[in-house]
Chains A and B, each alone.
Chain A
Amino acid sequence: MSEIEQIRQLERKSKMRNAVWTTAVFVLLILWAIIVLFPFYWMLLTSLKSYGSYNSEYVPKFYTLSLTIENYIKAFTAVPLARYFSNTIIFTLITTGLMMLVVVLSAFAFSRLEFKGKNLVFTLFLSLMMIPNELVVITNFVTITNAGLRNSFAGLILPSVTSIFYIYLLKENFEQIPEELYKAAKVDGTSDFKYLWKVMIPICRPTIVTVLILKVIECWNAYVWPRLITDDENYFLVSNGIQTIRESGFGRENIPAMMAAVVVISVPLIIIFLIFHKKIMEGVSRGGTKG
């Protein structure tokens, strides 16, 4: 009898211990979730408060009942936010498109075509992956300046096109397509280009989409190169726009208007993330890093 009692007591104890453990785990997770989400909540909240009510709150309120969109109007009128925005969209689209073209063509060459020197070039490409951007940016700055391409889209885009890692990623993916398919297409007289376009790209669409999204995120957040190569506001991207707003926009003190600009800039990526979060996380865990 007493043994059964003892076992029951032990069971109860371990259940208790598990409950305490689970609670601790959730406390940790919820705490970090708050730390992650709070800045987003705060920017949204502040952007909806009027300038007057924000400044009259010595202790800021954690909610507001009198929502206003005046800050958003101000963000688009007082600073050229719409221009930063359209610049970034142009930059992102062209850079991503060009990169995709370059990457697909070379991944195809590496995975399907046979030619002399292929392996040597591939090894060379791989070793270049280890070169940090900081080393090459200096010469690129001089090259672009000497070519008279400062404050132009060409100057912004051209050095941002190369992405060796994506060539590698796509080549691996292309190689998984059975060689027989290629040979069959050859027998049918399909040209290489048509085969790439009609067979390989559709089959590898998931990876291509992942690469596209990752590159779009990278372009949208680009800061260092655009800052080096543009000093004309007409060519600023959103990151540089934010920095200008921080240094001089809205008389430096209109924080609600600044937050409205921050929200406008953050929203596109957050939408992309909410739609594609599975793909993005999968792509990043396959070897992306934050550069």
Chain B
Amino acid sequence: MNNKNNLKGWLYLLPAMIFIGIFMVYPLFDVFVYSFEEGYNFASQTYQGIGLYNYSYVLHDPYFLQAIKNTFILVIITVPLSTTVALLISLALNSIKKLKDLFQTIFFLPYVTNTLAVGLVFMILFKKTAYSEGLVNLLLNSFGIASIDFIEGPYWAKMFVLCFYTIWIVLPFKILILTSALASVNKDYYNVARVDGTSRWRIFYKITLPMISPSLFYLVITGFIGAFKAYSDVVALFGIDLNAAGMNTIVGYVYDMLYGNSGGYPSFASAAALILFAIVLTITVINLLVSRKNVHYQ
């Protein structure tokens, strides 16, 4: 009986084990192997030696350094900004009764849209072409500001569009999490504070913020992880050849090394992916250490 039960349990798990084994566990070990195989040839699947050359190549590659720079700028700008804006919008949402559901539904819309498709719309709104300035530029012109080519122009202009689009994409998730966190704060605290005549700012700082701090930190942590892995929104805005646009990200570099015109180097791709993983892991651990000190868990 016992043996039969054992067998049955494993039988039900078998499909999941096969998929996870082939496409998650094995690759996880393999990526380390690849990253140490020097001069790996994709066609003949042979390599010349074992060592750290792949890492050193990637770390000296100007394209990778550019990708690191772009990714860090993107992370440093979008994570704090999107969290703050999401907090503001959630607070506003939480303070109204009429139309709350309607606004909530509208705000969540970007979550379900195709990143590539809407990115194309953003590109057209910001793009300056020979025969049209683009809508955003016309808006700028009406304030007396000269047109800027946001898609193929100066670096900071491209970075601005990228940050704007990234925030547009990530905000729905953050607003959703924060609104439900705000809604679950016990109303008694607010009522007591109001009786005492506590000011709005003080209520927010002393009651709301500590109560929602676990959600806030959850968002900061997932925000960092997500922003470090930015890729498809960048492709949507600037096209497939991100190195030429000077807008590549770390994940973009990994895929470029693997596939496409510059591809065929799984060893370099693995080394870059592991460097990315190390960065993300470090940042997450730092976040967790900071949160342990500052987050108020009930």
Q: Which residues of A come within 8 Å of B, CB atoms?
A: 21-22, 25-26, 28-29, 32-33, 35-37, 39-40, 42-43, 46, 55, 57-60, 101-103, 105-106, 108-110, 113-116, 118, 121, 125, 128, 131-132, 134-143, 158-159, 161-162, 164, 167, 192, 217, 220-221, 223-224, 227-228, 238-239, 242-243, 245-247, 253, 255, 258-259, 262, 265-266, 269-270, 272-273, 277, 280-281, 284-285, 288-291
Contacts and interface: CB of A to CB of B under 8 A. Distances in A.
Contacts of A137: 27, 254, 258
A40 B114 contact: no
A101 B9 CA distance: 15
Contacts of B103: 29, 33
Contacts of B115: 221, 223, 239
Contacts of B104: 281
B298 interface: no
A137 B24 CA distance: 9
Given A113-B9, A224-B231, 4 more contacts: A25-B92, A135-B277, A138-B254, A162-B16
A105 B13 contact: yes
- 7 tightest Cβ-Cβ pairs between the two chains A and B: A115-B9, A139-B27, A109-B12, A136-B27, A106-B16, A139-B30, A113-B9
A239 B116 contact: yes
B42 to A, nearest CB: 8
Interface in B96-124: 96, 99, 103-118, 120-124
5 contacts: A40-B121, A134-B277, A136-B23, A138-B273, A290-B170
Contacts of A217: 112
Given A139-B30, A277-B108, A289-B173, A255 B20 contact: no
B34 interface: yes
Nearest to B19: A162
Interface stretch (B72-80, B130-138, B152-160): B130-138
- In the complex, which range does the number of interface residues on chain B fall in? 35 or more
B112 A280 contact: yes
Contact of B107 (A36, A59, A142, A239): A36
B92 A266 contact: no
B68 to A, nearest CB: 15
Contact of B111 (A103, A224, A265, A284): A284
Contacts of B168: 35-36
B12 A102 contact: no
B114 A224 contact: no
A196 to B, nearest CB: 9
B23 A140 contact: yes
B31 A135 contact: yes
B27 A140 contact: yes
A262 B117 contact: yes
A224 to B, nearest CB: 6
Interface in B195-241: 222, 225-226, 229, 231-232, 235-236, 239-240
A28 B266 contact: no
Contact of A115 (B8, B30, B110, B226): B8
A60 B20 CA distance: 51
A103, A131, A137, A265 — most chain B CB neighbours (10 Å): A137
B247 interface: no
B176 A36 contact: no
A243 B119 CA distance: 10
A28 B114 CA distance: 26
Nearest to B21: A162
A128 B93 CA distance: 36
Nearest to B25: A128
B276 interface: yes
A142 B111 CA distance: 31
Contacts of B96: 22, 25-26, 29
Given A106-B13, A128-B24, A143-B22, A228 B106 contact: no
A22 B92 CA distance: 9
A258 B131 contact: no
Contact of B135 (A60, A115, A116): A60
A29 to B, nearest CB: 5
Contact of B19 (A43, A161, A220, A284): A161
B265 to A, nearest CB: 10
Given A25-B92, A59-B138, A102-B19, A270 B254 contact: no
